[in-house]
Structure 1
């Protein structure tokens, strides 16, 4: 029973769409021009910018007096409320289970947001467990978080595969842990000379097939 370590945002659950939807509604609420969505997406940097820094940037740009913590919570709740489980993802995870593999999510982020998305979408029904960096006290690409995930389900890390969309966090973390990996390229070209994925894929089902075949 090999272990399959899966990223959450933009791997199992779409994050781009829900964040854009939240951003467009938020800008409309505060009377900002709709074209500012481009600025907001650049500040967010595909989810890599700390939520508090995003909140501070919004407050500074629009001279808002609302506390930063309120903006952070609104962002968390707004994105989570828009997140849905793609039936193809559920299908891919059923394939994983049928093949005898054990799927565990390893994600960076806040417990409140990530746990809510996993449970509210029903993704939890398809997982053996999940590890969230805020709770674990270590984040990707530190390989210790993958070891913690293996410990959580009482399985050896050896022979595990990693699937994710982030070159640094997911593929870099897999490389540091000496694990094979599948990179969800999302239309991008690989450009990091320090390490490389074992396989690349354009969708989760293809990524799962590559891992299972490997």
Structure 2
């Protein structure tokens, strides 16, 4: 039974949409113009910017008196509350499971936030397990986090595939551990010359089709 190592944000679950929804409501709440949405999206950098740095930037821009920790909590809760599991993704995971693959989530982030997304959306019913960098003590692209996922699943890494949207964390991680990978391009062009995905697709459904057909 081969492993299917799957990224979480913007792979299994949309993060960009929920963050945009939270950002819009936040701007309305502080009386800021909706044109500031582009600034917020830029600061967030698709989730790559540390949450505390995002909170500090927001406090400075709007001269807010609330503590940064409250903004971090609001951001986390707002994104989680707006996150939904696409029924088509759930169906595809069921098909992959039925075909003998073992889906395991491998994600960077905090246990509190990532675990909440997985459980509240019901994704936990469609994957065998999940490994979160904060708990694991190691982050993608370090090969150790993929090895830990295999160890927890009691399955070999050999024969596994990695699927994700991050060139560095997911595809770079797959290359480092010697596994084939599928990159969700999300409208982007591959530019990294150090390594490359085995296949490039636009959706998770297409990615799972590649793996099952490979």
TM-score normalised by L of structure 1: 0.98
SS at match of 1:173: helix
Q: CA deviation at 1:213?
A: 2.2
| SS of the residue 2:103 aligns to | strand
Instruction: Show structure 2 runs of 5+ residues with no match.
Output: none
Q: Which moved more, 1:60-69 or 1:37-46?
A: 60-69
Q: What is the CA distance between 1:188 and its match in structure 2?
A: 1.1
Distance between the aligned counterparts of 2:133 and 2:74, measured in 1?
Answer: 21
Unaligned 5+ runs, structure 1: none
Partner of 2:185: 185
What's the CA shift string for 1:29-55, capped at 9, x where partnerless?
A: 111111101000000001111111111
Partner SS state of residue 138, structure 1: coil
| Partner Cα separation in structure 2 for residue 96 and residue 170 of structure 1 | 20
Residues 47-74 of structure 1: per-residue CA shift (max 9 Å, x gap): 1111111111111111111111111111
Which 4+ stretches in 1 moved above 4 angstroms? none
2:58 maps to 1:58:
yes
Question: 1:90-134 CA distances to partner (integer Å, 9 max, x unpaired)?
Answer: 011011111000000000111111100100000000010001111
Aligned to 2:17: 17
Deviation at 1:204, TM superposition (A): 1.0
Between the two proteins, the alignment pairs up a number of residues equal to: 214
Shift of 1:185: 0.8
Q: RMSD across aligned C-alpha pairs, in angstroms?
A: 0.7
1:97 aligns with 2:133: no
Q: Deviations over 1:118-167 (max 9, x none)?
A: 00000000010001111111111111111111111111111110000011
d(CA) in 1 for partners of 2:99, 2:136:
28
Q: How far apart, in 1, do the equivalents of 2:206 and 2:159 lie?
A: 19
